[in-house]
Structure 1
């Protein structure tokens, strides 16, 4: 199926997005301009020693680049750690990528400002490039310093998808007609429910429960994970894989 698009198939099936945000409690973001391969951490323009170091870390690593291809001076590095309300973000600009080898993220100063991380790695999934790059271009006009293209967030089939920091809200099924308004809502402290996948750094059940309550559901209701229908989840991988959905059961 050379013309298959996972995002269209997911939308046609009305696949629910709740509970599909990344669950990683710690994320390292590293500026890396230029092309990325399908496995971006292995196939990029960073020095060999830096690539090996990043691959060895026990946390999620995302590479960043600007929509317009600009870079530097220096290498922007950001660290996000989950908190009760979202994420605490720290950041700095390194003189050279090799400085990552000795970086102590605990010493980084706090980063103040919104970050919009839009998944655009077309080598991994066509939908992320076709839908993500236009969304990133639009957001970059509003937040030129806070908008980045990023590598694999997970959930290609919900493209275009982005991670908003510091809130941790992960949005999906954005396009150039909806991305700006959705992110403006997040910036105001709101949750655009029609595009919300969940709050990153939490389990899928916790994400789905929060969205259920925000949608007017009873906080006493139980939310449980149940098997969803197996499906093809990516344009770049024709394997059919298991999915998970979240079922609400009335509380006592």
Structure 2
């Protein structure tokens, strides 16, 4: 018998650095399910007018909407629910409680300042993509990871809808740092959750920082891997001359400036998800850290 096709297994040879979705911010809406392929658009809990207003507002601001639930949570929702607003570029994570899902249409979604109704959230979040309606890999492999992470990190761990890149399942996002991870197993999920709590990253599974474009993500991941540092705020982006698929990205760190050469590579067309029978091209990035000036 032929084994069913799994996009994440077929993509194991692909490098992950630079594959994170790029988003200015994240709005997380507590929503027990069920979730459709297009989770917000197909929500049975959010009124039509609120869905439309929220989709328009978040799209204009570059905010990704994620539905979230506690691992294993199903059934009718409570009247009150929480929403979180994250701005990874500033490291801010806010929360508020709502009693009516129609109120989602009126949220203050400003990212540069703390908007009305929001309160600081003192903690980190570990989001595990488990949206099986979007891709079977996310449910088949993601749910066991979410359950295992929740057993050790119950406050931080949430199941969530599509994070982008189910070929790299299990996909995980940490907030407020906005770090995207792939090929996460239960043990790695625990390390990632504990690292996020401590303001650190796990380079071995890192796809990139979601507030950066793909080539800058790849450059930063290369620095983490080569220099062996793990602090989430270890590097400050100072320059980017990338154009036409190649260039130079520069970061400042405590020990000086680091220069990374980046180059795009067009991959052989392949199936991008388990359900998609067509093949499509994709781009990955190669990054090389230059030796410091004056070194041998």
The reply to whether TM is greater than 0.5 is yes
| CA displacement at 1:76 relative to structure 2 | 1.0
Q: Residue 201 of structure 1 corresponds to which residue in structure 2? A: 211
Aligned residue in 2 for 1:224: 263
Q: 1:176 aligns with which of 178, 186, 194?
A: 186
Q: Within the alignment, does 1:42 sit opposite 2:41 as a pair?
A: yes
Partner of 1:197: helix, strand, or coil?
A: strand
2:136 to 126, 133, 139: 126
Structure 2: segments with no counterpart, 5+ residues: 110-114, 228-256
2:80 aligns to what?
74
1:192-247 Cα shifts (integer Å, max 9, x gaps): 22211111111111111111111126922311333222221111222212211112
CA distance in 1, matches of 2:52, 2:281: 31
Is contact 2:149–2:186 with CA below 8 Å preserved after alignment? no
Equivalences for residues 20-169 of structure 1 within 5 A: 20-45=19-44, 46-57=46-57, 58=59, 59-69=63-73, 71-72=77-78, 74-83=80-89, 87-105=91-109, 106-107=115-116, 108-169=118-179
CA distance in 2 between counterparts of 1:250 and 1:151 reads 34
Measured against aligned partners, the alpha-carbon deviations of 1:62-89 in whole angstroms (never above 9, x if no partner) come to: 11112131654512111112316xx321
Give the number of equivalent residue pairs.
248
1:236 and 2:242 aligned: no
Highest CA radius of gyration, 1 or 2? 2
CA RMSD of aligned residues (A): 2.1
Question: 2:248 maps to which residue?
Answer: none
Deviation, structure 1 residue 129: 0.2
Contact 2:128 2:158 in 1 (8 A): yes
Against the structure 1 CA distance between its residues 72 and 225, is the aligned structure 2 distance closer, same or farther, given a 3 Å change threshold?
Answer: farther
CA distance in 2, matches of 1:23, 1:244: 15
> Shift of the alpha carbon at 1:119?
0.7
3-state SS of the aligned residue for 1:89?
Answer: strand
TM norm structure 1: 0.90
